[in-house]
Amino acid sequence: MRREFERYTPGVVFHAAAYKHVPLMEANPLESVRNNTLVTRAIAEVAIEFEAKRFVLVSTDKAVNPKTMMGQSKALCEWLVEAFGQRQDIPTRFVAVRFGNVLGSSGSVITIFRRQIERGGPVTVTHPEMTRFFMTIPEAVSLVVQAGAIGGRGEVFVLDMGEPVKIVDLARNMIELSGKEPERDIRIEFIGARPGEKLHEELWSDGENVSGTRHAKIHLVTRPSIDAAWLDDELDLLERLVEEGDTLELVAKLASMMKAPRRGPVEEPAAQQHQ
């Protein structure tokens, strides 16, 4: 990454890279933490070293009250943004942008359903009550860029995703749009939730305050600031566990971090500067 930064000297870094396949991450906790969390710290440090003006983390609704390895590893990335954003000794501005699923992106349920319909079914849905938030690619990209341009002191922004959509309704609509009739022409099969999956995702937790910004579809999440020194020590420990291949200890450590992160008081003025 140092070679790439030296060659291209980016002014703004949009860090969207992550392992996003929930069951795969459940089965491979070491890789989840290595790639999603530790690499985020490494790239953030390189961005600081080469004096990038902004670092924008693309986060996920799965980082809210995280129940999966993927969600926990991305929650740590949000904490990293908070920690780096607090530092007065660096010029790089840090922001995180949190949102749900993007329609038509790689691995999107839309792509999977379309392929299943073309094969004549069945269309597989995990659970009849499963819901998710959705946004189009152009809208997501536009809002991420706009959110990245405001703030810069470790803020976490959340995009307005509208109302959650029931996955089974999405499946039925796609079957009908293809000129077929659900259950008669194309069968819908419920296959059960995957390891770690929640029935309903959330865009913020009960412990977070949400306020508006000058952008109608971008909201600011306010919560007590993470203790940067504590986080650095914990990440060093996670890195050692990854290097040693100690999966059980790593999973236990992650769970304890999620249960009781060390935070300070809420900084109220941060919510006002974006109005």
Catalytic residue among 20, 53, 62, 253: 62
Largest CA distance in the chain: 64
- In order of 88, 133, 154, the CA distances from 81 in angstroms are 14, 24, 5
Which candidate, 109, 110, 93, 108, places its Cα nearest to that of 51? 93
**Pairwise CA distance, residues 45 & 42, whole Å:** 5
Q: Which class for 258: exposed (0-12), middle (13-18), buried (19 or more C-beta within 10 A)? A: middle
Structure-block tokens of residue 265 = 């008081």
Sign of the dihedral through C-alpha 113, 114, 119, 120: positive
Q: The tokens 């152009």 sit on which residue?
A: 138
Catalytic-residue membership of 198: no
Tokens describing residue 253: 């450590």
Catalytic residue numbers?
62
